[in-house]
Amino acid sequence: MKKTISSISIIIPVYNEEGNLSLLYESLVSTFATMDYNYEMIFVDDGSNDTSFSLLEQLAQQNTNVKVIRFTRNYGQTAALAAGIDHAQGDAVVFMDADLQNDPTDIPMMLAKLNEGYDVVSGWRKDRQDTWLTRILPSKIANWVISKVTKVHLHDYGCTLKVYRRQVLNGYHLYGEMHRFLPAFAAQVGAKIVEVPVKHHPRRYGQSKYGLGRTGKVILDLFTVKFLNHYAQHPIYLFGSVGIVLVLLSFLLLSYLLVGKFFYGLSMIRSPLLLMSSMFVILGVQSIFLGLISELLVRTYHESQDKPTYHVSQILNINTIK
């Protein structure tokens, strides 16, 4: 039986959201007033240059459940969420945007799912209120590709409103735009995931910080995620296989050319295949060596940070000798 949730950390990245903060705070306070949870709101000010931080300071003075982390400069939403995770003390972590596009009234339903035994509850902006061409369409394509590649089928990776059991988040270092891949990482170590439709509102105050450019970054991140999920412990399986295939192809081409030369009197150097064969053997051998170097890097990666090569969900009787 999984532990029921009793304390919640809500993590909110804030970048120039002065128009939204008090409304969001009020709305969170009234949502949690209806529930029997201990909670903290962790606002991470990601280098805002409007009055966001002084507003947060005031909230923190009024209410000690409001915790504020202020970055020295703008590091991005992923870094802000990572800082929130590092300081979160609840059994469950709720991520949400500061701009009121996510709705705090969805949180009770999501926490109930966690108490049903799920480890990750992922919000899906079924009726998304953003521009279609630059936001909704690219996001649909990205979600489709991510689902195919990670084999974790969610409609909306990009929705920030998601709830995690705390321990599912342990041990990740988030880079780039990677927070959206957390459900895929969690699935990789056996977490139970459920997707729920959530409300979505148009932005009322301030501007969106993103445009079309983010989709490109997300797709590039996907390569890294796929690589880390499948080959991070054994990169030589990837590089080595490519290398072996290339070297074999090169030998096949060369044999074909040699047979042509000695049995049919065909010129080897007039055929483009000779060049291809030499390219393939060089690339193939390089790829195998690249694989070996990556194997060295992997050992440094896991051993220098004491990163486990496995994740345990339960332990019974291990520390008891009678």
Q: Is 97 in the site for ligand UDP (CB under 6 A)?
A: yes
Letters for 58-97 (x = contact with Mg ion by CB under 5 A, - = none) are ---------------------------------------x
| Rounded Cα distance, 280 and 269, in Å | 16
| Rounded Cα distance, 257 and 220, in Å | 39
CB of 98 to ligand UDP, least distance (A): 4
Token pair for 178: 């990677």
**Strands 7-14, 120-125: pairing kind:** unpaired
Closer of 119 and 156 to ligand UDP (Cβ): 156
Give the one residue of 77, 101, 122, 139 binding Mg ion; rule: CB under 5 A: 101
| Rounded Cα distance, 138 and 151, in Å | 19
The neighbour count for residue 231, using CB atoms within 10 Å, is 17
DSSP class per residue in 31-47 = HHHTS--EEEEEEEE-S
Give the one residue of 37, 172, 210, 251 binding ligand UDP; rule: CB under 6 A: 210
**DSSP code of residue 316:** -
Q: Is 287 in the site for Mg ion (CB under 5 A)?
A: no
| Rounded Cα distance, 198 and 139, in Å | 16
Q: Is 177 in the site for ligand UDP (CB under 6 A)?
A: no
Give the one residue of 17, 18, 45, 99 binding Mg ion; rule: CB under 5 A: 99
Closer of 103 and 295 to ligand UDP (Cβ): 103
Give the one residue of 77, 122, 150, 277 binding ligand UDP; rule: CB under 6 A: 77
Tell me the site size for ligand UDP, rule CB under 6 A: 16
Q: Of 105, 171, 118, nearest to 4 (Cα)? A: 118
Residues at the site binding ligand UDP, with contacts judged by CB under 6 A: 13-15, 17, 46, 74, 76-77, 80, 97-99, 101, 208-210
